[in-house]
Structure 1
Amino acid sequence: RRNNDGCVGDSLSDASPMDAGLLATAQGLMEFHSSHQFCSRCGSRMMLAKLGACCKCTSCKRVVYPRLDVASIMLITTTLSSSQEKEYCLLGRKAMWPAGRYSTLAGFAEVGETMEDCCVREVYEESGIRVDPSSVRFVASQPWPFPQSLMVGFHAKAEATTTMDDHDDDGLPLITIDKDEMEDIQ
């Protein structure tokens, strides 16, 4: 099932891990084949090679493989100074989302950046909150066809001196929620 952007992303939430991987592969290869019909070096026609896993130029023989855009998605937790006994997580939202929809923060890695550095940078850019770099821990990864992305999940702790603001740099609301509140929502 494709969404309005032509991606199969909405189908992933209901898919098994194996099916999600197959959907991501199919979407990624379709996008790759569509966007690599001509050689970026000489302009000649490309042809599929290795069962569609790459494209090869019919003239200069250059071989091109699909690329991945790697992004980090992170659960940031902290104990707020007003409530040292409870651990809270940071959630944000996009302006185009329906009211009440929130997510953990996420963002794409930049050239030369480790995924852990990406996690720290993205949290600060999106929320103004500093993450303790030594607390960043890998949790899991998932192919994500928007298109050809790999989401790398992390858990990290906000620095001890952090105070949670209620808006990000774009003026969008940020919220903190504890485990008990999360269970009440579910």
Structure 2
Amino acid sequence: MLDSLALARGSIDRAAERREDEAWLAAAWADQSSRVLVIHHGRAPAVIDPDGAGAPGTVALHYVPSLEAPDGGIRVLLAVVDDVTYFGLLLDVAEDAPPEHPGTRWLGLREIGAALGDVDAGVMVAAVALANWHATHPRCPRCGVPTLPTQAGWSRTCPDDESQHFPRSDPAVIVLVRDADDRALLGRRIDWPVSFFSTLAGFVEAGESAEAAVLRELSEEAGVDIDPGALDYLGSQPWPFPSSLMLGYHARLAPGSRVAIPDGVEIEEVRWFTREEMHAACESGELRIPPAVSIARRLIEAWYGGELPGAWSRP
């Protein structure tokens, strides 16, 4: 199993039992030791250690007390850690971002997720996921009436029919395929630069198991046949862009599989790599692999046999 997935460090206590306790929430918000993370367009203010080289804990989120929080937005309860309450303030994407505090920058999870400490990573992933959900689900799916945030931001309620609606995660499989010679199959999306390659992925369809999705997606995107008895599930990671849950697998080609051919619709190119070929291509700049924040990177490293240099990453 994969460990230390950048966005799956879910050790924070989300304090779900407090979400309907209005008196406790009001007191926690008024408590100036509580921390408020402002989210705007998927970004939060952060401070970067220039000597940290992107290692975990070398970027810190910038929190403010509630008295310094901007007006407006949706207030959400994110966590309670060591008796400190963490709130998110989800600002309307149509409004301008507040000015940056000295020494901070507005940054997103793709840029800093792997460099955050465990608590900051858990807090920001939850905040970004909720911000994306609230922004895209403002109305009741039954009657179209604008809904209201409830349960400390973890649901929305229709004032007309009183139906409650909750955030959902869309399961997707992400797969590194290996052949009989233990080469790895990587693909390049049609909209990526020629050097960008990654593992193959796709959403689980309605009424489909994750394992069936692996077989279907690899057949559709790369034209290969997967041995259904040689699937290794290695772990999952939230990917809140806007609402995916990535289920990571290693898979083996079925004996007699078809030759790998890209579908030409989503995938422009597929290539097999030995470890030596990947090393040479990355060193020359011919190949760039996913960044450390992605579960795709960890699937590749699990096959390669160790952590790979940051210089091999694409932006």
Q: TM-score range by the shorter chain?
A: 0.7 to 0.9
2:166 corresponds to: 65
Q: Secondary structure at the match of 1:136?
A: strand
Between the aligned partners of 1:32 and 1:131, the Cα distance in structure 2 is 34
Q: Distance in 1 between matches of 2:254 and 2:231?
A: 11
Q: CA deviation at 1:40?
A: 1.8
Match of 1:176 in 2: 272
- Structure 1 residues 17 and 49: alpha-carbon distance in aligned structure 2, compared to 1, 3 A threshold: same
Q: Deviations for 1:97-135, whole angstroms, at most 9, x for unmatched residues?
A: 111110010000000111111111101100100000111
Q: Which TM-score applies when normalising by structure 2?
A: 0.52
**Structure 2: distance between partners of 1:152 and 1:9:** 19
Task: Structure 1: state its 5+ residue gaps.
Answer: 80-85
For residue 234 of structure 2, what is the aligned residue in structure 1? 139
1:25 to 112, 121, 126: 126
Matched, 1:124 2:219: yes
- Note closer, same or farther for the CA distance 1:178–1:143 as it changes in structure 2 (3 Å cut): same
Amino acid at match of 1:169: D
Distance 1:51 1:122 in 2: 38
What CA RMSD, in Å, does the superposition of the two structures yield over aligned residues?
2.4
Equivalence map 1:13-162=2 (5 Å): 13-15=114-116, 19-79=120-180, 86-162=181-257
TM score, norm. by length of structure 1? 0.84
* Residue aligning to 2:110: 10
Residue 172 of structure 2 contacts residue 245 of structure 2 at CA under 8 Å; is this kept in 1?
A: yes
Match of residue 102 from structure 2 = none
- The corresponding residue for 1:83 is none
Give the 3 Å change call, closer, same or farther, for CA 143–128 of structure 1 in structure 2: same
Question: Relative to 1, partners in 2 of residues 1:138 and 1:29: Cα closer, same or farther, differing over 3 Å?
Answer: same
C-alpha displacement of 1:46 = 1.1
Paired-residue identity, %:
33
Q: State the structure with bigger RCO (CA 8 A, min sep 6), 1 or 2.
A: 1
Which residue does the alignment assign to 2:288?
none
User: Unmatched 5+ residue regions in structure 2?
Assistant: 1-40, 44-92, 94-106, 283-308, 310-315
Q: Contact 2:201/2:217 (CA < 8 Å) preserved in 1?
A: yes
Q: SS of 2:161's equivalent?
A: coil
Shift of 1:24: 2.8
Indicate if the aligned counterparts of 1:9 and 1:146 stay in contact, CA closer than 8 A: no
Label 1:10 to 1:177 Cα distance change in 2 as closer, same or farther (>3 A). Answer: same
Query: Which entry has the higher C-alpha Rg, 1 or 2?
Result: 2
Residue pair 1:27, 1:148 contacting (<8 A) in 2 also: no
CA distance in 2 between partners of 1:113 and 1:53 (Å): 27
